[in-house]
Structures are given as C-alpha cells and as structure tokens.
Structure 1
C-alpha cells in the first residue's frame, strides 16, 4: 500500500478531504506509536512506505517510555491533535486509520503478523477499536 491509497482509504471512510485525513493519520500514528514499545513501533515503521514512515516516526525518541493510555485518553489526545471536537467522530477517524494501517501491515483481520503484535500491546478497550477496524473493511 502506498501513501496515496492509505490517505484515500482514510478520507473515504470518514468523508474528509485528503488534507484533513493526513492530519488525522498523523494524530493517530503519534498516539498509537507512543502506546507501543519502541521495538514494536520500529517494526511497524519498517513495513510502512517512506512517507507514511515519516509520519509514524515524527517526534519519536529512542528513550521514550510507553504511554499507557486507554481508550478515553487515546481518543481525547487524537481529537485534540486533529482538532476533532466530537468523540464519535474521533472514534470513527481512529477506526479508519487503524483499518488502513492493518491493510498496510498486510493483515485482513488485524490479528496476524505485525498487526497482531500491535494488537497484543493494546489494552482491551483499544483492542475493541482495533478489531472494529478489521470488521469495517
């Protein structure tokens, strides 16, 4: 999957223009990456096309600690970063990015390969959104 198709997939799912979709992708990438161990985040980055990889690794630090956010805080941070003031819309945007990321990682179900490793590091409430993304495809 290339960057254009990734952005289009997200944009179509949430009915945003591509520029708005890119802002949402950036916000979700930042929060999800920080929720993963640095090693797992690096494995995800290695599977992304160059331009998406740049969004994924932006502002990352090798010495960062895992941010143990749960769904309410995760959605709140994404909403704040992406300027979405509606929790339902934020959740829909997160599901869209999760689904596109699962596609980029080569997992139809979100439970295999690198996508399965990502899911394994999420708390139950974020796993629910991760799995909802696979069902929305």
Structure 2
C-alpha cells in the first residue's frame, strides 16, 4: 500500500476538519476498491482518535481525487490530509509533540486495521478462486 500525509491551507474561519483521499478509475476497479477500504480505515482511526481530543473537529470523510501520488502506484494508495497549516488552531496543534504522536498513532492503527482486514479479504478471494 501507499500512503501520503500532508497538511494543507484553508480559508479563515473554516471549521477544523480531517479527510482522507483515494483515487478512482474504472479501468483498475480492484485497486480502487482496495484504496477506498484503505482510506476508510485510516479515516476512521484518525477521526476516532482526534475527535475525542480536538473539540469541534469535523470528519470530512473519504474523497476521490486524481492526484499523481495516488494514480502512479500499482498498489492501493491514499493521501491523509491531517491538518490545515493556514489554521492557527491546527498550527498550534502541530507544534505539539503529543498531537503529532496522536496523528502518527492513528495513522498506524488505520494502516494496521486495513492490513489485517486486507489479509482476510485476500484469503477469502483465494478460497473462492480455488473453489471454482
């Protein structure tokens, strides 16, 4: 799997939010489905961990995008947008080692959960193929 983590900018006064992004193209349906599962797993982990510790944070969910960092891989790929560097609140949070550690821990848990479920998915697919 491939993952990219970034912080981006937003307009003044916009709410605190998190989102993960995957890439969609009908020619590579399996990669897209796996990327979507991967992004959902990471998004759940990020929001689950940070919502309890960051009042007012909004879950922007998983979005589709055609970024080269997502389209140029042969494996499932996501981009986790963890903060807005233009937000004073996010900027303060990112200065905190504890907050950065929470983000890293959430990313790890999301990847770990996806990997565990992906192994089950692969085993299920292999069993179905063998039974044909």
The normalised TM-score by structure 1 is 0.31
Structure showing the higher strand proportion among its residues: 2
Greater relative contact order, per chain length (Cα 8 Å cut-off, separation 6+):
2
Max radius of gyration: which structure?
Answer: 2
